[in-house]
A = this chain, B = another copy of it.
Amino acid sequence: MDLSNLHLLSATEAARLIRDGAISSEQLVEACLAQIRAVDDRIHAWAFLDPAYALSQARALDQYRLEGKPTGPLHGVPIAIKDIFDTADMPTEYGSPIHAGRTPSRDATPVALLRGAGAVIMGKAVTTEFAFLSPGKTHNPHNPEHTPGGSSSGSAAAVAAHMVPLAIGSQTAGSTIRPAAYCGVIGFKPTHGLISRHRVSPLSRTLDHVGLFARTLDDIALLAEQLVAYDENDPDTRPGARIPYSTLSAEEPPLPPMFAFIKTPMWERTDEDTRDGFAEIAQQLGGQVEEVELFPSANDAWQWHQTIMGAEVAHNFEREWQNNRALLSEQLRGQIERGREVLAVDYQRALRQIAPMHDSFAELFEQRYDAILTPAAPSAAPKGLSSTGDPSFCTLWTLCGMPSITLPLLQSSDGLPMGVQLVGPRGGDGRLLRTARWLSKKMAEV
């Protein structure tokens, strides 16, 4: 075992090696920290990182295992936490000067679940300001002149640069799928309400999702299994049996999957690389992909999303608006200002569109298709760090609360990664992972 390369391991492999005693969590975390020392000065993925504290968690977990105590599925595996999730032992600053130095006393529910699974909470990953648009300090690991995407910038970059095998982030428009695609990792946004957002800084109850980052589908499934759980403190989660995503996602599809290629009105924003990439995929899938026209009412989804997000952001930032307006970015101030003008009838009308829109998609899946196939973003990561790129290919699925995943299956002409997004119906997360695995294999055969 080459100890200096442990940071290249997947979480699944690392957890197995730790369980078997082949490596220690301390060795794994040390390798990740070495990688961070080697590369992070040009990436800046971390809002908070205390190497000594990360190592002390690892040593405690090693000791625990040596005492013969039961270990969790992520025992000793480090994970990055987007800095909008409260951590009882680290600052949580939301990427905003308003909350500089804030040290919450409790963990967000996903963080608590990760600790329960034995994970090492490596540190806090950079977020844009309050997970909205204003960028943090992170650069794209593939080219530091390009944005890593946002808002989960640090989460995506840390996984892409092998600083950690796993990270969690969030998505309210395109904040998981977009940075994952730009950074060339897998990003997974499960069905709305599957993962609790308790003690996670809210933008919009209707739209906020927890997002997952990893470099392999096994890792995504393993991580999802730890996080999907009912939490009475998140009114959108529902009691239900734990779902074995690892098992489900590893199964062979009973029939070759069918894909519905949906361009959406955002297709006009795609660059040539994206169009070429999708033409190539379509060719390889042959009869297994069909282009499907979006039903007309869905074309208004971007407007409904904006109304809901505007109203709910304005609501969630009332305190900052009243007390710290000058410390908000211009972008967020503008959003709040517009949101404060939204009428309750318009807000409710927008909310009411979601269920029928999702029902129309559900029909598509029942009739014929295993997944919707669509770009993760209109292009690879744009040059420049003043914007986090375009979330428009994620908006519709986020609004409908549908599970979506991006796979790093394409490359731009200048060598940057590009994501292929697959989308399933609400609750179809396991099957979506299975279909994603099938597609990854298929594309690897080429």
Determine the residue in chain B with the shortest Cβ distance to A352: B315
User: Does residue A93 face the partner (Cβ distance < 8 Å to B)?
Assistant: no
Interface residues of A in 143-184 (CB under 8 A from B): none
Interface code A337-365, partner B: CB below 8 Å = 1, 0 otherwise?
A: 00111111111110010000000000000
Query: In the bound complex, how far is the Cα of B382 from the Cα of A310, in angstroms?
Result: 46
Residues of B within 8 A of A341 (CB): 343
Residues of B within 8 A of A318 (CB): 345, 349
> Are A344 and B314 within 8 A (Cβ)?
yes
Query: In the bound complex, how far is the Cα of B340 from the Cα of A341, in angstroms?
Result: 13
Determine the residue in chain B with the shortest Cβ distance to A347: B344
> Are B342 and A311 within 8 A (Cβ)?
no
User: Does residue A239 face the partner (Cβ distance < 8 Å to B)?
Assistant: yes
User: Does residue A312 face the partner (Cβ distance < 8 Å to B)?
Assistant: yes
* 8 A-B interface contacts by CB (under 8 A): A310-B344, A311-B344, A314-B345, A318-B345, A340-B343, A340-B345, A343-B344, A344-B347
The size bracket of the interface on A is 10 to 19
A191 to chain B, nearest CB (A): 16
Residues of B within 8 A of A352 (CB): 315
A66 to chain B, nearest CB (A): 43
A233 to chain B, nearest CB (A): 11
B239, B312, B343: the one contacting A348 at CB < 8 Å is: B312
> Are A347 and B347 within 8 A (Cβ)?
yes
Given known contacts A311-B348, A314-B344, what 8 new A-B pairs fall within 8 Å (CB)?
A311-B344, A311-B345, A315-B344, A315-B352, A318-B345, A339-B345, A340-B343, A341-B343
> Are B239 and A315 within 8 A (Cβ)?
no
Determine the residue in chain B with the shortest Cβ distance to A315: B348
Interface residues of A in 298-318 (CB under 8 A from B): 310-312, 314-315, 318
A323 to chain B, nearest CB (A): 16
Query: In the bound complex, how far is the Cα of B315 from the Cα of A264, in angstroms?
Result: 29
